[in-house]
Amino acid sequence: MIVLRNVKKVYGTGKQALDGVTLGVPRGDFVFLVGGNGAGKSTLLKLLIRAETASSGVLIVAGHDLTQLPERRVPWFRQQIGIVFQDIRLFADKTIYENVAFSLQVSGAPRRGSTRDLVMEALELVGLTGDARRFPRQLSGGEQQRAAIARAIVRSPQILIADEPTANLPPDASWQIVQLLADINRRGVTTLVATHDRDVVNGLKRRVVELAGGHLVRDERHGAFGSSAAYQAVPAARTGAATVASVSGAFPVLSPVLVGAGA
Ligand SMILES: Nc1ncnc2c1ncn2[C@@H]1O[C@H](COP(=O)(O)OP(=O)(O)OP(=O)(O)O)[C@@H](O)[C@H]1O
Ligand SMILES: [Mg+2]
């Protein structure tokens, strides 16, 4: 569903934000993107939605070669992707229903079902059926983010991209949001989530891709938040699973990949 091969991104300032990133994300996968401030997470997600263009390399998203996609096709391409931001970005003067419906209106008539049915279906999925007539300010932060997720998925996107969707939320709301993303992923939507939220990553035990200084430094099937340095500190293949377990003891989740390598 997503292919990056040797992708580089150098901003106009000369800052190299991504350097030689190669990554494949099959249809239906769920990926946490982790890494410190400035590691390149948001840049990578921006490339995937063509909010930025790659400086070099191959970048294919949902069958579209983004290095070749003409500018005039970008809005059409972006309609196939659901996008969720840290700062939520709902229209303050529209109700929750109207915010979600707007997402359908800008993309033309829905391919299936009526606008009303699709909006209510999306609101039901995120647990906000009873809040359709409220305005964003009348909802908690977590509820607002759920509304933003409803807006992102109402067009049935193949891919859902979220950049730090839980950054401004308390832990229980964060956990609800991430459960919701996992739920959407189980319906077949390929999902990428950039996050600094250790508990969320460790709780879900999904694929973890780590960036550091624009390089991809870790890619684990059932990863923990961890840090690549912590994992690399003990060579798993030589020391065996018991040692790996003690190293990983710092994190609630043991990586089967590492245990497998050590056993
Ligand atoms: N528009 C831009 N112009 C110039 N440099 C940029 C731009 N956007 C990001 N950068 C730089 O590129 C690098 C990667 O930034 P990016 O926003 O991708 O990091 P990030 O991993 O998302 O960080 P954070 O965890 O703080 O959100 C940083 O050094 C950043 O300062
Ligand atoms: Mg970022």
Q: Which atom of ligand 1 is nearest to the CA of 52?
A: 1
SS3 163: strand
d(CA 134, CA 97): 8
Higher pLDDT, 239 or 59: 59
d(CA 119, CA 97): 7
* Residue 129 phi, psi (nearest 5): -55, -40
Residue 204 tokens, joined: 């879900």
What does the pLDDT look like over 117-133, one tens digit per residue?
999 999 999 999 999 99
What is the whole-number distance in angstroms between the Cα of residue 201 and the centre of ligand 2?
16
d(CA 210, CA 214): 10
Q: Residue type for 132, please?
A: A
pLDDT at 207: 97
What pLDDT band is residue 108 in, cutting at 50, 70 and 90? low
Place of tokens 């921006």: 46
**Bridge partners of residue 187, in order along the sequence:** none
What does the pLDDT look like over 205-242, one tens digit per residue?
999 999 999 999 999 998 899 865 444 433 333 333 33
Q: Is the CB of 42 under 6 A from ligand 1?
A: yes
Q: State the pairing for strand pair 64-65/81-85.
A: unpaired
What pLDDT band is residue 111 in, cutting at 50, 70 and 90? low
Q: Is the CB of 13 under 6 A from ligand 1?
A: yes
Residue 205 tokens, joined: 């035990």
SS3 190: strand
Q: Is the CB of 59 under 6 A from ligand 1?
A: no
Residue nearest atom 16 in ligand 1 by C-alpha distance: 40
pTM as predicted: 0.85
Which residues, at least 6 apart from 153, have a Cβ–Cβ distance to it below 8 Å?
82, 122, 125, 160, 184, 189
pLDDT at 113: 75
Q: Is the CB of 100 under 6 A from ligand 1?
A: no
What does the pLDDT look like over 128-153, one tens digit per residue?
999 999 999 999 999 999 999 999 99
Mean pLDDT taken over the chain = 85
- What percent of the chain has pLDDT above 70? 84
* Residue 172 phi, psi (nearest 5): -70, -40
d(CA 34, CA 13): 24
d(CA 129, CA 127): 6
Q: Is the CB of 51 under 6 A from ligand 1?
A: no
